[in-house]
């Protein structure tokens, strides 16, 4: 098994994903939120980059729910923002979610071209690692970053997942991610650039929830050909 | 003093350099080579992104020397490639160098907009740190990377320089660079993606020379308004 971690969104374009399993991570908060929404009973999610695209999908199919944020705040008129706590403990009877978030959605779009696309978060780290252990190939992890920049918490999560795998060949970014996970305590992640922003918005409960490790058995896969993602059954 | 390290060239555009001292690092080999050429007696260097621009400058002023590489190899017709050993031990009586290298030149161009631009390498780490200690402001370090990607050796050098400073506020990238420097032994840098490429080209002596720490007292500054750089006198 070989693995690389693309440390910065601006670098996605320079890496080949062909034949690889791509793992998209947006701990604060997109991949955590999608996992939680699906575990609460929603059937599928559809990430879009632009708000206009979400509205167009809603017009075509009024039953879809819209979720998304800009600058960490709920988009006006949308059904949901980007908080996992909007979904946690709920019990939906199916339904589809169209999502647009600043960082996570774009990272998913960047993963097109990979053999398959997995969404990961701290809560699903072990579930994702178990899935990756069964695939013997190449893994490329895409931390979603924050506003186009390196994100400490997403890269730390990449390191955590790598620590659970038996990788023979680590790229320079993967080595860096592993070191971050080894040397930085989880409690420090709330002090990352993104963590501080969410703290300033009073989203302490979201941060705490997103930082729980291995709390969920759910594995989220995204199908780049249909554009829809769902829990693996 | 506050400091950030931009871990990936693709991220330059997302960081503001206004008011900051920018430090450009291309250990393998551009900033090492420029330092060595200037210490051998050349007066100035002028980085350009494109080969055509270098030829045009030569046509306008035939006395300038051209230096540069593509894919680590000397550009055909140029006076020099990108090896510090082409200059080490030489004694030039002045002269100007026009340089075009894949990563380093582009990082320098990206540093436009900073208050001032310093070039750093492992050989000049202490000289650069001494200069930065005298400036009390904000430092943004730009590892040049390799082909648009994160570079382990440049980021390690950023960590080394930071370790010599008293920084109160470290950005997430700066924390990561410091960790890399603390946890990765210098001997491992020849195994970075870029290091392996140069090894494959048989450039072992270049690698050894570039990896010498604090071997030079020279401080290279680049003036973004004239486009010329030189040793600080």
CA A52 to chain centre: 22
| Any domain includes A101 | no
Query: In sequence order, what are the residues at sequence separation of 6 or more whose Cβ sits closer than 8 angstroms to the Cβ of residue B226?
Result: none
State chain A's mean pLDDT as an integer.
95
Which residues in chain A are contacts of B14 at CB distance < 8 A? 10, 147-149
Tally of domains within chain A: 1
| Any domain includes A87 | no
Pairing of strands A2-5, A169-170: parallel
pLDDT over 70 for what percent of chain B?
100
Q: Report the distance separating Cα B137 and Cα B129, nearest Å.
A: 13
| Any domain includes A144 | yes
State chain B's mean pLDDT as an integer.
95
Among the listed residues B132, B133, B64, B56, the one whose alpha carbon sits nearest the alpha carbon of residue B98? B64
Tell me phi and psi for residue B209, to 5 degrees.
-65, -45
Residue B13 has pLDDT above 70, yes or no: yes
Which residues in chain A are contacts of B8 at CB distance < 8 A? 7-8, 10-11, 150
Instruction: State residue B213's pLDDT score.
Output: 98
The DSSP string of B49-72 is SSHHHHHHHHHH-TTSEEEEEETT
User: Per the CB < 8 Å rule, is B13 touching A148?
Assistant: yes
Structure tokens that stand for B41 in this block: 């007696």
Instruction: State residue A71's pLDDT score.
Output: 86
Instruction: State residue A102's pLDDT score.
Output: 84
Residue B71 has pLDDT above 90, yes or no: no
Instruction: State residue B102's pLDDT score.
Output: 84
CA A24 to chain centre: 5
Instruction: State residue B188's pLDDT score.
Output: 96
Residue B233 has pLDDT above 90, yes or no: no
A120 near A24, Cβ under 8 Å?
yes
Structure tokens that stand for B61 in this block: 């002023």
Residue B51 has pLDDT above 90, yes or no: yes
Give the nearest partner residue to A8 out of B10, B175, B182, using CB atoms. Answer: B10
Structure tokens that stand for A187 in this block: 């409690």
Residue B4 has pLDDT above 80, yes or no: yes
Give mean pLDDT, residues A76-86: 96
User: Per the CB < 8 Å rule, is A9 touching B7?
Assistant: no
Question: Is the backbone of residue B15 left (phi > 0), alpha (psi -120 to 50) or beta?
Answer: beta
Give mean pLDDT, residues B51-59: 95
Domain membership of residue B30 as a residue range: 2-231
Residue A178 has pLDDT above 80, yes or no: yes
| Any domain includes A63 | no
- Mutation to test the A interface, candidates B6, B12, B14, B158, most A Cβ within 10 Å: B14
pLDDT tens track for B115-137: 999 999 999 999 999 999 997 68
pLDDT tens track for A126-160: 999 999 999 768 999 999 999 999 999 999 999 99
B152 near B5, Cβ under 8 Å?
no
Instruction: State residue B136's pLDDT score.
Output: 64
pLDDT over 90 for what percent of chain B?
94
| Distance of residue B63 Cα from the nearest chain A Cα, in angstroms | 37
Give mean pLDDT, residues B166-190: 97
pLDDT tens track for B154-174: 999 999 999 999 999 999 999
Residue A119 has pLDDT above 70, yes or no: yes
Interface of B with A (CB under 8 A): 7-15, 147-152, 155, 171-173, 175-176, 179-180, 182-184, 192-193
| Residue B75: DSSP 8-state | P
| Any domain includes A93 | no
B11 near B171, Cβ under 8 Å?
no
Q: Report the distance separating Cα B220 and Cα B197, nearest Å.
A: 26
For A116, counting Cβ atoms within 10 Å of its Cβ (0-12 exposed, 13-18 middle, 19+ buried), the class is middle
Helix (H) or strand (E) holding A120: strand A116-120
B212 has which bridge partners?
A: none
Q: Which CATH number do you get for residue A202?
A: 3.90.1560.10
For B155, counting Cβ atoms within 10 Å of its Cβ (0-12 exposed, 13-18 middle, 19+ buried), the class is buried
Question: Is the backbone of residue A147 left (phi > 0), alpha (psi -120 to 50) or beta?
Answer: left
Give mean pLDDT, residues A216-233: 96
- Mutation to test the B interface, candidates A9, A152, A172, most B Cβ within 10 Å: A172
């Amino acid at each position: 098994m070989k693995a690389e971690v693309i440390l910065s969104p601006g670098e996605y374009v320079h890496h080949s994903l062909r034949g690889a399993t791509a793992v998209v991570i947006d701990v604060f908060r997109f991949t955590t939120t999608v996992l939680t929404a699906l575990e609460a009973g929603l059937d599928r999610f559809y990430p879009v980059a632009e708000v206009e695209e979400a509205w167009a999908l809603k017009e075509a199919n009024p039953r879809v729910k819209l979720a998304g944020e800009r600058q960490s705040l709920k988009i006006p008129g949308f059904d949901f923002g980007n908080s996992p706590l909007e979904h946690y403990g709920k019990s939906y009877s199916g339904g589809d979610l169209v999502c647009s978030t600043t960082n996570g959605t774009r990272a998913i779009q960047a993963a097109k071209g990979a053999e398959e696309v997995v969404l990961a978060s701290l809560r699903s780290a072990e579930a994702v690692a178990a899935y990756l252990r069964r695939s013997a190939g190449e893994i490329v992890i895409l931390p979603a970053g924050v506003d186009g920049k390196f994100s400490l918490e997403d890269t730390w999560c990449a390191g955590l997942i790598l620590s659970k795998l038996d990788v023979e060949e680590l790229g320079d970014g993967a080595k860096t991610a592993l070191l971050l996970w080894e040397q930085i305590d989880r409690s420090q992640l709330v002090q990352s650039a993104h963590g501080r922003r969410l703290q300033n918005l009073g989203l302490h409960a979201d941060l705490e929830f997103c930082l729980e490790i291995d709390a969920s058995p759910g594995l989220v896969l995204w199908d780049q050909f249909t554009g829809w993602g769902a829990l693996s059954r």
